[in-house]
């Protein structure tokens, strides 16, 4: 079946009620495989996200000689080979739709002794990679891209990397993580300074594997010459996946949803901050720490939302949740203005344009800007929208049906499996009337 044929039909009305745990955090699942593979000893992972993106990372390390048992019900046993134990893969590493895999692996593989090629699907090979290849070249890596600066990436082995002191032009956890992973193999010290805080899972997990990381405000440094020691990782539920149900509950009268064991890393909680600013009723219950990551249970009940000017400091903290937040804005009273989010234009799709086009089709006044959007709250009508093969766009428009008078048909939804394979099943459990054809 061609990808274009996967259609979600979300029927109107209903409310969200129930108590669930969404699948494991995608960012942490990727990193657990990467660092577990480079550690000494056997790393045990629970809560691993069995989605296509994370399975692509796992397949890449298996191709480089790492024995990984599982995943069985979210459990993995990774037999680490140490920092210098990876073997040359027999073929190019195909990372599917996963930008995280490609950007982080480019740093980790820049310091190996063997040549390797990284490629992916039609969406991934269009995404910009210069943001990682340029600083890696400054460290001494030899990486070739297409003329457009996109994949396939050809990484030559045997380069002697030197530490770098890099000030990132744009806040990006993937670029920061890429350079820190290259820093494991670079002579001396590698430091990265961010213009704004981004998710810090790599730093937390390196420390969890016993590797020293120095943090000072928005600057993080790593020195080569250490080692990673196997550990146990319990992956919290993914706040980016939880966001669809948080917003579903926030916009549909009569809703009351309880989400368990959600990761509330302060570099990821922008979605909670923005929704609360809009007037949402969100309780954070039983906050605790699991394996170096803060988690909590969340309870969300319906309350009328109001339009706001989204504070720019929250943008990097909610970058993946904006497609869903645009749905909240469409249901709010008044105008919501987003600025400072040009990063959304180079995700799996141009998320600003994809969401603006879909919202307009559904009768909402949504005006895209170069770095954001202006949305005037209104009433949805039904209709057919194109997700442009973007998992988060597809799931966001599904939630909109809770407030639509007739069904919303969402096309090109196959990629939902890249981040949230049981989305439809869980959405139905909570009361969304959705079918797949």
The answer on whether 31 is annotated among ligand-binding residues is yes
For the chain, the first-to-last Cα distance in angstroms comes to 11
4, 411 Cβ separation under 8 angstroms: yes
174 is in an annotated binding site: yes
171 contacts 196 by C-beta, under 8 angstroms: yes
Residues 313/265, Cβ–Cβ less than 8 Å: no
227 labeled part of a ligand binding site: no
The whole-angstrom distance between residue 40's C-alpha and the CA centroid of its chain comes to 27
At a CB cut-off of 8 Å and minimum separation 6, what does 147 contact?
none
50 annotated ligand binder: no
**Bridging pattern class, strands 189-193 and 165-167:** parallel
137 known ligand binder: no
Does the annotation flag 17 for ligand binding?
Answer: no
What are the helix (H) ranges across 120-263? Answer: 130-138, 173-183, 201-208, 239-251
Neighbours of 420 (CB within 10 A): 23
Question: Is 351 among the annotated ligand-binding positions?
Answer: yes
Residue 422 three-state SS: coil
- Residue 347 known to bind ligand: yes
To the question of whether residue 112 is assigned a binding role by annotation, the answer is: no
403 is in an annotated binding site: no
**Chain centroid, CA 122 distance in Å:** 19
The phi and psi torsions of 70 (rounded to 5 degrees) equal 105, -165
Distance in angstroms (rounded) separating the CA atoms of residues 326 and 366: 9
260 is in an annotated binding site: no
% helix, strand, coil for the chain, step of 5: 35, 25, 40
Looking at the annotation, which residues are catalytic?
320
Contacts of 408 (CB under 8 A, 6+ apart): 9, 10, 12, 362, 380, 382, 383, 384, 385, 397, 398, 400, 401
Contact (Cβ atoms closer than 8 angstroms) between residue 352 and residue 373: yes
How far out from the chain centre does Cα 308 lie? 25
Residue 12 falls in which region: left (phi positive, over 0), alpha (psi -120 to 50) or beta: beta
Read off the tokens for 42: 């056997």
CA-to-CA distance for 53 and 251, rounded, in angstroms? 29
Q: Which residues are annotated as a binding site?
A: 26-27, 31, 99, 127, 172, 174, 320, 347, 351, 392
Annotated binding site for phosphoenolpyruvate: 26, 99, 127, 174, 351, 392
Q: Show binding-site residues for 3-phosphoshikimate.
A: 26-27, 31, 172, 174, 320, 347
């Amino acid at each position: 079946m061609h990808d274009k044929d996967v259609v979600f039909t979300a029927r109107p009305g209903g409310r969200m009620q129930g108590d669930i745990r969404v699948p494991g955090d995608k960012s942490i699942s990727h990193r657990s495989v990467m660092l577990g593979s480079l550690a000494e000893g056997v790393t045990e992972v629970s809560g691993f996200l069995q989605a296509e993106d994370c399975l692509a990372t796992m397949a890449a390390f298996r191709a480089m000689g790492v024995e990984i048992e599982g995943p069985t019900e979210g459990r993995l046993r990774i037999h680490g080979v140490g920092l210098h134990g990876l073997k040359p893969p027999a073929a190019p590493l195909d990372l599917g739709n996963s930008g995280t895999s490609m950007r982080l692996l480019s740093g980790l593989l820049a310091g190996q002794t063997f040549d390797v090629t990284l490629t992916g699907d039609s969406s991934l090979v269009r995404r910009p990679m210069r943001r990682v290849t340029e600083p890696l070249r400054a460290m001494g890596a030899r990486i070739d891209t297409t003329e457009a600066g996109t994949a396939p990436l050809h990484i030559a082995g045997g380069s002697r990397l030197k530490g770098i002191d890099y000030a990132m032009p744009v806040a990006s956890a993937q670029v920061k993580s890429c350079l820190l992973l290259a820093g494991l193999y670079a002579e001396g010290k590698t430091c990265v300074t961010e213009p704004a805080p981004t998710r810090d899972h790599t730093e937390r997990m390196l420390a969890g594997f016993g590797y020293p990381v120095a943090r000072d405000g928005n600057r993080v440094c790593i020195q080569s010459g250490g080692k990673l020691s196997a550990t146990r990782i319990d992956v919290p539920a993914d706040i980016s996946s939880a966001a669809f149900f948080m917003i579903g509950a926030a916009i549909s009268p009569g809703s009351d949803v309880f989400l368990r064991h959600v990761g509330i890393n302060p570099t990821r909680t922008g979605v909670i901050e923005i929704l609360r600013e809009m007037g949402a009723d969100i309780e954070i219950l039983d906050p605790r720490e699991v394996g170096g990551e803060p988690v909590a249970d969340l309870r969300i009940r319906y309350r009328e939302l109001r339009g706001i000017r989204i504070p720019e400091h929250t943008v990097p903290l909610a970058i993946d949740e904006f497609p869903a937040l645009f749905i909240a804005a469409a249901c709010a009273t008044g105008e919501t203005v987003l600025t400072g989010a040009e990063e959304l234009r180079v995700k799996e799709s141009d998320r600003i344009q994809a969401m603006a086009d879909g919202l307009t089709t559904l009768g909402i006044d949504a005006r895209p800007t170069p770095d954001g959007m202006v949305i005037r709250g209104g009433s949805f009508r039904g209709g057919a929208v194109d997700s442009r093969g973007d998992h988060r766009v597809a799931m966001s428009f599904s939630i909109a049906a809770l407030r639509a008078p007739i069904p919303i048909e969402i096309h090109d939804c196959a990629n939902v499996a890249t981040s949230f394979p049981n989305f439809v099943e869980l959405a139905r459990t909570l009361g969304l009337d959705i079918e797949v054809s």
